Amino acid sequence: MYNDKVIDHFTNPRNVGEMPEADIIGEAGSFKCGDTMKIYLKIEQERITDVKFQTFGCGAAIASSSMLTEMVKGKTLKEAQLVTNEDVAIELGGLPPLKMHCSNLAADALQDAINKYRGKRKSVRA
Ligand code: FES
């Protein structure tokens, strides 16, 4: 059902865990299955310098989270904001159609973190 790359990211997820020194934490949950994800970002001068995640979900969700963290580390917030769940699925070599919604968790948590970060910066400046 899953290709080798997905299985690799599921069984050996990259950047997994908490980040106490994170500048912002993004969260997302799936209405479809109840699974959840948290993403932790360290940001310096609008660039993601470190990223970690915790996902309570299926294999596809964990693989997508792991892949997304690899894709956005080192990117500017502007670049990271353009990463979609389809991009993550493509980078994984594809997900079974029934599992495409699982890749939303990672992309949604990332968007949530970036939006919260921008909101926080705005309120500090105001
Ligand atoms: Fe819930 Fe995959 S079944 S995220």
Spatial CB neighbours of 77, under 8 Å, sequence gap ≥ 6 = 43, 46, 47, 48, 114, 117, 118
The pLDDT assigned to 126 comes to 66
125 exposure class (CB count in 10 Å sphere: 0-12, 13-18, 19+) = exposed
Task: Please indicate whether residue 102 is annotated as part of the active site.
Answer: yes
Q: How far is the CA of 60 from the centre of ligand 1 (A)?
A: 7
58 in catalytic set: no
66 found inside a domain: yes
Ligand 1 centroid to 59 CA: how many Å? Answer: 8
Tell me, yes or no, whether 102 lies in a domain: yes
Angle separating helix axes 102-125 and 59-72, nearest 10 degrees: 40
The pLDDT assigned to 31 comes to 87
User: What would the mean pLDDT of 103-122 be, rounded to a whole number?
Assistant: 94
Radius of gyration of the chain (CA): 14
CATH number for 80: 3.90.1010.10
Total tally of structural domains belonging to the chain: 1
In this prediction, residue 18 carries a pLDDT of 97
- What is the dihedral sign for C-alpha 81, 87, 88, 89? positive
Q: What is the pLDDT of residues 48-98, one digit of tens each?
A: 999 999 999 999 999 999 999 999 999 999 999 999 999 999 999 999 999
∠ CA 70-22-26, rounded to 5°: 70
Average pLDDT over residues 22-41: 96
**What DSSP element (H or E) covers 75?**
none
Q: How far is the CA of 66 from the centre of ligand 1 (A)?
A: 14
Residue 124 lies inside a defined structural domain of this protein: no
What's the mean pLDDT in 1-14? 96
**Minimum CA distance residue for ligand 1 atom 4:** 102
Q: How far is CA 124 from the centre of its chain?
A: 25
Domain coverage including residue 16 = 4-119
Mean pLDDT of the chain: 95
Q: Quick check: is 100 in a domain?
A: yes
Residue 51 lies in a domain: yes
- 125 belongs to a structural domain: no
